[in-house]
Structure formats: structure tokens, C-alpha cells
Amino acid sequence: MVLLLSACTATAVTPTPTASSPFAGCSFTGGSGPAPDLPALTLPCFTGGAEVRTGDLRGPAVINLWSSSCDPCRDELPVMQALADATTGRLQVLGVDTFDSRDAAASFATDFGVTFPTLYDRDRKLLLGLGKTALPVTVFLDADGKRFVYTGTALDKPTLGTLVRTHTGVTVTG
């Protein structure tokens, strides 16, 4: 009888994601600059699940859309991590895990040492909102919120450095 009563008074527990997150939290939102030229979406931060509105993001920034099933992403993500490490405090580097399971994304990021803040977009809302269908996609935002979208092959370090300087005004050293 006691067991039966305790089962009736138990509180519901919200399920948490099964994968632990290798990514930093998303504490970069907000800012005083102009709103970015991005589709108006709200996506959860991979770490912690806080909702992030794309309209709250500010440049200069690099936003990399990737998936664990994307072969070019395997080459590009470590380059993005190196960019995040080299530009701390001068450039926001944000990942968007796209069309993926949380477990696959966390495992992939752990294997490749990726720790920069990442949003979770299982339904490809940002990818489709940018008018794209294939990964990887990298969005460069300048301080005025103007965007440049790069698609195609995986970015290598020299090409990424040039695109960052050209489209965000930030010079990458190292």
C-alpha cells in the first residue's frame, strides 16, 4: 500500500539528453550592434538547452553548420576549433549541429576535440532558412550584421583566415 501511494505522489521528471556535451555553453548572445541578416529562428544550445534566438547573435562571428554524417565536416571542424582558440574575445565562433542525433554529435565532437558553443538543429531550420541543402555551410557576420555564406568544400586554415578577414574584419594570427 505504501508503494502504491508513493507511486501516485511522485513528481514528473523532465528527461535530459542522453549525451553529455563536449561543447561550451551559449553565453554569447545579445549585444548592442545591429540585428544580423539571418533567418529568424530559435534553437536550443547543445549544452544546457537554453533557447538562442538568431536575432540575438552579433558579429563579428563565424557560424558553422555541420553534422556527424558529413565527410567534409570531419576536416573542417578541427579548423573551426583552431579559429575559435586563436580569436577568443575578438570573434564569436558558433557551431550548429544540423540534422543529427545528440549522441552522434557529442561523440563526433569529442573525437575531434571540438568545444566551441554549438546550437542543436535536428530539423535543419537554419540550413533551409539560408536556402541551402548540403553541408558544410559557414556564415560570416560582420559587426554590422551583414552576412556572407560560404558553401562547397571544407575550409582549410588559410582559406578560412582569408574569409574571416574579408567578411568580419578580424585578422587571424597563428
> Does residue 113 lie within any of the structural domains?
yes
> Does residue 103 lie within any of the structural domains?
yes
Give the pLDDT of residue 8: 36
> Does residue 75 lie within any of the structural domains?
yes
Give the pLDDT of residue 32: 64
Domain limits at 112?
58-168
> Does residue 14 lie within any of the structural domains?
no
What is the tally of structural domains in the chain? 1
Give the pLDDT of residue 35: 82
Task: Check residue 89 and give left, alpha or beta (phi > 0: left; psi -120 to 50: alpha).
Answer: left
Nine cell digits for residue 28: 554569447
Residue 70: HSE in the Cβ half-sphere, 13 Å Cα cutoff: 26
Please choose, from the candidates 58, 64, 54, the residue with its C-alpha nearest in 3D space to the C-alpha of residue 139. 64
> Does residue 28 lie within any of the structural domains?
no
* Largest Cα–Cα separation, the chain: 71
> Does residue 12 lie within any of the structural domains?
no
pTM for the model stands at: 0.86
For residues 52 and 55, give the distance between their C-alpha atoms in angstroms, rounded to a whole number: 9
Regions of the chain where pLDDT drops below 70: 1-19, 28-32, 174
Give the pLDDT of residue 19: 54
Give the pLDDT of residue 111: 93
Looking up residue 116, the CATH number of its domain turns out to be: 3.40.30.10
Residue 116: HSE in the Cβ half-sphere, 13 Å Cα cutoff: 27
